[in-house]
Amino acid sequence: MSSCRCMLRVVPLRSLRAAAMSLSRFASAPVLPYAARSPTSSSPSSSSSPSSFPAAFSSAASQASGGGAVAAAAAVAAEGVEDAVGWSPPSLGRVPSFVRIVEVAPRDGLQALQTDAEITVDTKISLIQQLAHAGLRSIEAGSFVSAEWVPLMKGSDEVLRAVLADPDMTDVAFPVLVPNTYGFKQALEAGAREIAVFTAASESFCQENTNCSIAQSLARCEKVIGLAQEHDIKVRGYVSCVLGCPYEGEIDSAMVAYVTERLFQMGCYEVSLGDTIGVGTPGATAALLSTVLSAMPDAVDKLAVHFHDTYGQALANITIALQYGISVVDASVGGLGGCPYARGASGNVATEDVVYLLQGLGVECGVDLSRLCAIGHFITSELGAPYMSRVGRAAGKRSGFRRSRTFSVAEGTVRTRYLPPTVPRKRVSDEEEARIRALYEDQDSGDLEFK
């Protein structure tokens, strides 16, 4: 009888390095599964150079006030990127030991929710309290936008006052989204200690979302940030459509780098890069981060990523971001979310799934996964929304996750992680645990796990 042999090909490191260089030169931009792409951005000749921009961007920029200046500045920022790529291919060696999760469900998760259920102020407050008790220490509390345009954000001032007054959440940050100076004044009156401003790397999206150009959007951000600095309020920045736009299609990474750098220059302590419609892939994410970090090598500790899971790529994209050293991830419990001004945008990546991914990589995040799954079931049930967390659905509503403590005698540390119900349980009595710890307390090797 004949036999078949399967051969695995090992890719040399130099090939991976060459691939990363190609990504940074925009040679492998993602193929977007919709028709609203600019004609020139899809041709290889127009996307092979970092200084070339989609025709749709150029025309929109030239028509908008100040838009031409933005295009020119971004083109200048792109010069030299091809020869200045200082980031080798993503590596597990760069994965941080701790990742801070910014929970966005109370704002981004609810703002575009399609539901007949009434979302009361009390429901929002209860959600935030539960998230804080699960270990999350940065939770978006709301948005000070017009209730006429985003009705589900009505009552954000009441929510913010309530959570800030809660004595059990004094160590939790509650950023709120602020679109303009009027919104800032409302946030200030409600006692905001941290705000978020937003813009986009797409001229068309800026026009649709905020009725202004990128240049005008940045000018608005600058005014709001200036007011925040006068009142000693921290500012977080958002850049939307970093990997694709529902109106323009592909987005040039050099524009993302330019807008991000401008927000840092204005005073943002952190900037979150958002794949607003969830079309990004690991290759596109690597290309984006290579470009941004080549332009701003010192910004790796100040960048966050914000992925929607429209095409099921969010966790893969986060894994790539972690391998670039990114240590802040936005997520939404239960996978709630979407953008009211972005066609095709589905929910955010589920916080439960991100926590499970991080634990699998040995990365701490300080979140109780069992409680988080319970919260996901609770809030989606309250809202009549589908529960989108794969981890939460697999764990079930009541079975949950089991806590497992790992003692490192050598390091003198205790690590807590949460195991799915399918993992066999090992039982060690307290007496046996104490005996083994005493036996090894003078030794410098080995990790002991007790469950």
Residues 6+ apart with CB under 8 A from 277: 241, 244, 245, 246, 308, 310, 339, 342, 343, 344, 345
Q: How far is CA 101 from the centre of its chain?
A: 8
pLDDT score at 150: 84
Q: What is the pLDDT of residue 49?
A: 31
Q: Are 79 and 288 in contact (CB under 8 A)?
A: no
pLDDT in the model for residue 401 = 62
- Identify whether 212 is a catalytic site residue: no
pLDDT at position 339:
59
Amino acid, single-letter form, for residue 250: E
The crossing angle, in degrees rounded to 10, of helices 121-133 and 369-383 is 170
What pLDDT score does 352 carry? 97
- Distance between CA 239 and CA 144 in Å, rounded? 18
Query: CA 128, CA 238: separation in Å to the nearest integer?
Result: 21
Candidates 88, 69, 103, 187; CA nearest to 355 is 103
pLDDT digits (tens, 9 = 90+) for 383-394: 888 899 999 998
Pairing of strands 402-408, 328-331: unpaired
**Residues in the chain, how many?**
451
β-pairing, 234-240 with 194-200? parallel
- In this predicted structure, what is the pLDDT of residue 85? 47
Domain boundaries, the chain: 92-395, 402-450
What pLDDT score does 148 carry? 81
How much is the pLDDT for 125? 97
Domain 92-395 has CATH 3.10.20.30: no
- Choice among 245, 339, 365, 373 that is catalytic: 339
In the predicted model, residues of the chain with pLDDT beneath 70 are 1-88, 338-346, 397-429, 440-451
Read off the pTM.
0.73
